[in-house]
Amino acid sequence: MPFTKGNKTMKKLFFTNKILKMKVSYTNQLTLLLVFLLLLSNITFAQKYSTLELGSIIPLSEKLMINVTDEKMSLNDNFNENGLLVVFSCNTCPFVVMWEDRYRQIEKRCEINKVGMVYVNSNEAKRNGDDSVEAMKNYAQSMNYTFPYLIDQNSVVANAFGAKTTPHIFLFNNDKKLVYKGAIDDNFRDINQVKERYLLDAIEQMVAGEDIKLKETKAKGCSIKRVLNK
């Protein structure tokens, strides 16, 4: 092909476009790597806190946290006659969203059986975003929560419990001892496909004074977003 100014311009455009594509590809790869490393570090960070053992007394029970109503309260303030259910939760985790219809059932079961209940948001790394105080207030209102939704500053309560995910369930009896921990049930995707109601069964058996048949299950959910330098 004879050399022309047009050909030279076309070659420049071709190579410029190729370089730009390489830069975009590199940027995307770098972004994915950073996201992966962040998730990995968060999981590793969470693993340094051992999950509370069955039979343990509830930790940090007197520590004051702020409810979405702006009222300060402790876990002890929320114990009822037959115990307390602590649910580590958040606003946007897909697992929480899919389990939200179960939250309504749990609230009713706790109320009927005189078991206190609190939701605890420990996502400190998202406190200026999806899990800000204002976002928590709006979410609790939109979901019509009938129990407190508490702000766990610096994830200290989650660390004491060794909570790993949202949701992560901890059920305490009237002696403040842990009797069940783990997941809500065996199907987060569809309430109509649930075969094992881990938590509801545990509440019923606890209140009836029976031995809880299944005391521990694997918690499933999004990792709690701790601030890594805390």
Average pLDDT, the chain: 88
Between the alpha carbon of residue 8 and those of residues 19, 91, 210, the distances in Å are 17, 56, 85
pLDDT category at 41 given cuts 50, 70, 90 is very low
Fold of 51-223: Glutaredoxin (3.40.30)
Position 117 pLDDT exceeds 90: yes
Can you tell me the mean pLDDT for 16-36?
A: 56
Can you tell me the mean pLDDT for 39-48?
A: 54
Q: Provide the edge-to-edge strand list for the sheet that holds 65-67.
A: 72-73, 65-67, 149-151, 116-121, 84-89, 168-172, 178-182
Half-sphere exposure of 43 (CA within 13 A, CB side): 8
pLDDT category at 35 given cuts 50, 70, 90 is very low
pLDDT category at 22 given cuts 50, 70, 90 is low
Domain ranges of the chain: 1-48, 51-223
143, with CB counted inside 10 A (0-12, 13-18, 19+), is middle
Can you tell me the mean pLDDT for 195-210?
A: 97
The whole-number pLDDT of residue 48 equals: 79
Q: If DSSP states are collapsed to H, E and C, what string results for the chain?
A: CCCCHHHHHHHHHHHHHHHHHHHHHHHHHHHHHHHHHHHHHHHHHHHCCCCCCCCCECCCCCCCEEECCCCEECCHHHCECCEEEEEEECCCCHHHHHHHHHHHHHHHHHHHCCCEEEEEECCHHHCCCCCCHHHHHHHHHHCCCCCCEEECHHHHHHHHHCCCEECEEEEECCCCEEEEEECCCCCCCCHHHCCCCHHHHHHHHHHCCCCCCCCECCCCCEECCCCCCC
pLDDT in tens, 72-102: 999 999 999 999 999 999 999 999 999 999 9
pLDDT in tens, 177-195: 999 999 999 999 999 999 9
**Alpha carbons 42 and 64: distance in angstroms, whole number:** 25
The whole-number pLDDT of residue 17 equals: 62
